[in-house]
Amino acid sequence: MRVMRKQIFVCATPGEGRCGAKGGGELLERFREEVERRGFSPQTVLRNACTRRHDEGPVVFVFPDDVWYTRVRLEDAPEIVERHLLRERVEAR
């Protein structure tokens, strides 16, 4: 049985009123730093294409969990990483 690798997608699309203008780029880097700090590959976090949810940005999507986060702040990154990556690692033992 093949285990599907989880990934975190962060919208960082530049432009007025879009996720990038609302801190999406910094958020992308914060997530990458957080996953690396916890022993995961930085490729666990990818830049997402525009979600067209500009009023809810920055937007973060976790695959394959199908969980969306809106208005994500830098300080939210550790909790999201723990919720989707670390808890599963502990439960899988």
- Token readout for 69 is 């986060």
85 neighbors 38 (Cβ within 8 angstroms): yes
Q: Which domains does the chain have, with CATH numbers?
A: 7-85 (3.40.30.10)
Beta-carbon count within 10 A of 70 CB: 14
pLDDT in tens, the chain (93 residues): 445 589 999 999 999 999 999 999 999 999 999 999 999 998 999 999 888 888 899 999 999 999 999 999 999 999 999 999 987 544 433
Q: Distance between alpha carbon 10 and the CA centroid of its chain, in Å?
A: 5
Q: How far is CA 21 from CA 25, 35, 38, in A?
A: 8, 23, 28
